[in-house]
Amino acid sequence: MSDFVSAVGIEKIYDNGSKVAALKGVDLAIARGDFAALAGPSGSGKSTLLNVIGTLDRPTKGAVRYEGRDVCALDAHAQADFRLRALGFVFQAYNLIPVLTAAENIEYPLVLKGVESGQRRKLALEALRAVSLESFADRRPDLLSGGQQQRVAVARAIVHRPSLVLADEPTANLDSKTGAQLLDLMEGLNKEQGITFLFSSHDPAVLERARRVIHLHDGELRADEVRR
């Protein structure tokens, strides 16, 4: 497996009156097909690193290369296009659009891509099927359980066939059983569709499921453990 995402010398300093270094020169390479977890306690820099890799935030120093191209140097417009083309996101708080149904939420990246409506609906239903929620297509998020909402969020993250899905504490708001089911789902998508997953967690039960665990502590990469 070749590296297709690499973070080189990433530093991130937040300046809210006093300067706080969230990342202190992190180097990290993600291979295509990885099912990797960022581990570490709260404040270790997991979310910040995910945001920087996902171009949701710009590093103070360093670069993120996606297939060799520095995506941090792109303007906001081009970064949005990059995310739409290559990335999928799953958030801790699900973050579905409350006024749209499950299927419409999933369709949204396709709307932004300009896919025509019939094709959009077809792909959204396929994605819903992949997360075993096809019968909930027309339900709004408030009528879905937390686990169902997170599965819809996963379906939204994969519907446009991204090569990398970034998930920030995806199981943190779920009970252990539902969290395990969500990990089953993500692992299945990783194996069957070859989607690379990079997710963060501080839950040992979740970290056990990753094939690679990257340990962060106080903004520094402390260990990179590959399991087979």
Partner 1 sequence: MMRLAWRNVWRNRRRSLINAAAMGFGLAAIMFGQSLILSLQVQLIEKATGSITGHVRIQRGDVDESKFPDKFMIDPEPGARLLEKDPRVSVWGRRIQTTGLISAPNASLGALICAVEPEKERLLTDMATYIKEGTYLDADGKGIVMGRKIATRLDVRLGEKVVLMAQAADGSMGAEAFRVVGLHETGSESFDGQIVWVPLKAMQEMLARPGQANQLAARLKDITQADAVAQELDAALGPGNVRAITWKAIDREIISVQAFQNAILSVVLVIVFAIVALGILNTQLMSLFERVREFGVLMSIGARPGWVVRLILAESLLLGLVGAAFGAMLGAVLIGTFGRYGLHLPLGEALSYFLPFPSVIYMHPSWRLHALACASLFVITLLAALPPALRAGRLKPAEALRHV
Does position 111 interact with partner 1 (CB under 8 A)? The reply is yes
CA gap 153, 26 in Å, rounded: 28
Q: Per CB under 8 A, does 95 bind partner 1?
A: yes
To partner 1, the closest distance from the beta carbon of 85 in angstroms equals 8
The tally of CA atoms less than 13 A away on the side-chain side of residue 91 is: 8
Rounded-to-integer distance, Cα 188 and Cα 70, Å? 30
Tokens (6 digits) for 20: 């706080």
Residue 215 β-bridge partners: 39, 223
Site stretch for partner 1 (CB under 8 A), options 53-61, 63-71, 174-182, 190-198: 53-61
Taking the complex as a whole, the smallest distance from the CB of residue 213 to partner 1 amounts, in Å, to 24
Using DSSP's 3-state secondary structure scheme, residue 220 falls into strand
- The pair of structure tokens assigned to 145 is 């359980």
The answer for residues whose C-beta is within 8 angstroms of residue 119's C-beta and 6 or more apart is: 110
Residue from 51, 148, 190, 201 binding partner 1 (CB under 8 A): 51
As measured in angstroms, the least distance from the Cβ of 122 to partner 1 is 18
13 binds partner 1, rule: CB under 8 A: no
Q: State whether residue 191 is helix, strand or coil.
A: helix
Determine, following the binding rule CB under 8 A, whether residue 46 of this chain makes contact with partner 1.
no
CB 198 within 8 A of CB 185: no
Q: How far is the CB of 92 from partner 1 (least distance, A)?
A: 10
| 76 counts as binding partner 1 under rule CB under 8 A | yes
Asked if residue 190 binds partner 1 (CB under 8 A), the reply is no
Sites of contact with partner 1 (CB under 8 A) = 51, 54, 56-57, 76-77, 80-81, 83-85, 87-89, 91, 95, 97-100, 104, 108-109, 111-113, 156
